[in-house]
Amino acid sequence: MNHGLRRALASAKMTEVQLAEACGVDGKTVSRWIADPSRIPHARHRWAACEALGEEEAALWPTAVRSALKTGPDREVVQVFPYRSAAPASLWRSLITKAQHELTFAGYTNYFLWLEQANLAGALRRKAQTGCRVRFLIGDPDSPTTRAREAEEGVPLTLSTRIAVTISELDRLREVGNIEGRFETGHVNLSVFRFDDEMIVTPILARRVGHDSPMMHLRRTQADGMFDRFADHVEELWSRGRNIWEVAQSGQA
């Protein structure tokens, strides 16, 4: 029996029929998933189930995750998605919840996080209060780099508008220790999100917004591997960044 899936259903207080509806399959299909742990659903059904149950894929179908792992230098790649929007929101929530020491959000706007994660501000506040370092590296809204990218994207909800949303949300957390924000522009085409030893990396494609770009989920397993190289990239940009609140104060002065 797939005990992980059965426990997740009970924890979510969902029936097999309800999960089947969420995944777009027949109720008997979900019954077979539970009865036979060797039965691996199609990827889109696994992602839908993870979203509905608020669980990671590794907890429900560990065999599927292990089969995707490799033994060479790319073994740090846990899973990949052709579009960031294809990844279940529960993955992000799980990574945020599990992190104990470091949360770094180096997306150019980070706008989607506030939109898709319920009460993100509350979660970040609790993390910071327990000693977790929370950092936001966002694009400078007044930079020529931002204006050039806005022209390339050509969407009504501009980068500077999305950045303003993140600044507004961070202003509400300003008094909380361990929460920092800096402006930089070197990550305009590469978003990196770190959760202790796990990471989400999204290379931003030409004329595409973040949710329409590919996404990689990494887990650190070695020194100077993919994880460390992306982490070093973010640290370099962070060292160059300008404190968002100091910039605001200088602008008002």
| Cα dihedral 76, 80, 83, 86 in deg (nearest 10) | -120
Out of 156-160, 190-194, 201-205, 222-226, give the one with best mean pLDDT. Answer: 190-194
Do the beta carbons of residue 126 and residue 155 sit within 8 Å? no
At position 119, the amino acid (one-letter code) is: N
pLDDT for the residue numbered 253: 40
**Torsion sign over Cα 90, 91, 94, 96:** negative
224-to-13, 39, 134, 152, 200 alpha-carbon distances in Å: 43, 36, 23, 34, 17
- CA–CA gap between residue 84 and residue 31 (Å, rounded): 30
Q: Which residue has tokens 């999960």?
A: 19
The model's confidence at residue 69, banded by pLDDT at 50, 70 and 90, is: low
Topology classification of domain 69-252? Endonuclease; Chain A (3.30.870)
pLDDT in tens, 122-138: 999 999 999 999 999 99
pLDDT in tens, 15-25: 999 999 999 99
Domain boundaries, the chain: 1-68, 69-252
* Tokens at 31, concatenated: 């019954």
The stretch 208-234 carries a mean pLDDT of 90
Query: Spelled out in words, what is the top-level CATH class assigned to the domain 1-68?
Result: mainly alpha
What stretches of the chain show up as alpha helix (H) in DSSP?
3-12, 16-23, 27-35, 43-53, 57-60, 62-68, 89-98, 111-116, 120-129, 144-153, 159-171, 226-240, 244-252
- CA–CA gap between residue 97 and residue 159 (Å, rounded): 27
Question: pTM of the full predicted structure?
Answer: 0.72
The reply to whether 69-252 shares the fold of 1-68 is: no
* Tokens at 48, concatenated: 């839908």
pLDDT in tens, 165-185: 999 999 999 989 899 999 999
Pairing mode, if any, of strands 102-106 and 77-81?
Answer: unpaired
